[in-house]
Amino acid sequence: MNKSELRKALAAAVRAAQAAGKLMRQNLRAAKKVNAKTSHDIKLELDVRCQKLIEKILRKTFPKISLLGEEGDSGSVNEPLRWVVDPIDGTVNFAYGIPHACVSIALQARSSKLPEYETVVGVVHDPFTEETWTAIRGEPTKLNGHVARVSSRKELKESIVCVGFAKSRHSLERALPHFIWMARRVRKMRMMGAAALGLAYVASGRFDAYIERGVSLWDVAAGGLLIECAGGKFWTEPVPGTEKIRMVASNGLIHRKLPLPK
């Protein structure tokens, strides 16, 4: 895609994210239909509705690009271009009426020269603060149209670090020692419950780092680009035997001081 097409894709993703965000805002206090429930997660009927709305809007502009989403895939997700969508990131927060959730939309591309997918467009929209983070690879991250940058803090003792715990008992037990280690060394720990927003907060200097040992691609595809385009560092690796990803995102200045999630 050339720059003109990337800007067109970004505009479509912003429209889709804000439309889904409006639906979220209208339903925050409403009774919610639960499609599935586990000990650490909730799936809502509204997740499905939001993803369908996002897909409808994206297809108006790009009818042939497939979509990989938390609520199911559309088309062949191994094509050179694909959307990666989390229609409601922070569903448990949203289900409990906590206004800390967002929409995450990324466009990923790959080629014969670059066999692995990379995110080329990213949008994270918070409908409750009316904040929209956007990025095109090679250009600065923006928050509501203004350039956003990671923080300049260099010391752990001055840093706010966000963490997220994966949903399995095994992952939780593996993550707790890292949490305790960091809690003794940083200014504050935060657990907010919406991965894409956590990454957006790092990208705009509110948090200095964010660590998780088990997230899905749709949680981080857009937010990771926001971090990189805002001057930070975004590290990931696959969790063996799963479809999950380990992740460390930071301002880059404290990155080597952070424990890698294993």
CA distance 26 to 100: 14
Helix (H, G, I), strand (E, B) or coil at 248: strand
Kind plus residue range of the DSSP H or E element containing 126: strand 118-126
Task: Verify that 108 and 174 share a domain, yes or no.
Answer: no
For residue 262, pLDDT beyond 70: no
> How much is the mean pLDDT over the chain?
92
Structural domain of 169: 156-256
Task: Verify that 17 and 128 share a domain, yes or no.
Answer: yes
The model's pLDDT over 35-93, given as tens digits with 9 standing for 90+, comes to 776 656 677 889 999 999 999 999 999 999 999 999 888 888 889 999 999 999 999 99
Task: Verify that 141 and 12 share a domain, yes or no.
Answer: yes
Query: Is residue 179 within 8 Å of residue 206, measured between CB atoms?
Result: no
Task: Verify that 133 and 24 share a domain, yes or no.
Answer: yes
3-state helix, strand, coil in the chain (%, to 5): 35, 30, 35
Helix (H, G, I), strand (E, B) or coil at 153: coil
Task: Verify that 173 and 234 share a domain, yes or no.
Answer: yes
For residue 220, pLDDT beyond 80: yes
Query: Is residue 135 within 8 Å of residue 142, measured between CB atoms?
Result: yes
Query: What pLDDT was estimated at residue 39?
Result: 53
The model's pLDDT over 8-47, given as tens digits with 9 standing for 90+, comes to 999 999 999 999 999 999 999 988 888 776 656 677 889 9
For residue 207, pLDDT beyond 60: yes
Query: What pLDDT was estimated at residue 166?
Result: 67
Task: Verify that 14 and 125 share a domain, yes or no.
Answer: yes
Q: Which one of 100, 126, 147 terminates a domain?
A: 147
Q: Which one of 147, 165, 192 terminates a domain?
A: 147
Task: Verify that 173 and 131 share a domain, yes or no.
Answer: no
Kind plus residue range of the DSSP H or E element containing 43: strand 41-44
Query: What pLDDT was estimated at residue 40?
Result: 61
The pTM for the full model equals: 0.93
Please work out, in degrees rounded to the nearest 5, the angle formed at the alpha carbon of residue 94 by the alpha carbons of 92 and 98.
105
State the total domains in the chain: 2
Task: Verify that 13 and 109 share a domain, yes or no.
Answer: yes
| 246 DSSP β-pair partners | 237
CB neighbours of residue 256 within 10 Å? 8
Query: What pLDDT was estimated at residue 38?
Result: 65
The model's pLDDT over 83-142, given as tens digits with 9 standing for 90+, comes to 999 999 999 999 999 999 999 999 999 977 777 899 999 999 999 999 999 999 999 999
Is residue 261 situated within a structural domain? no
Is residue 115 situated within a structural domain? yes
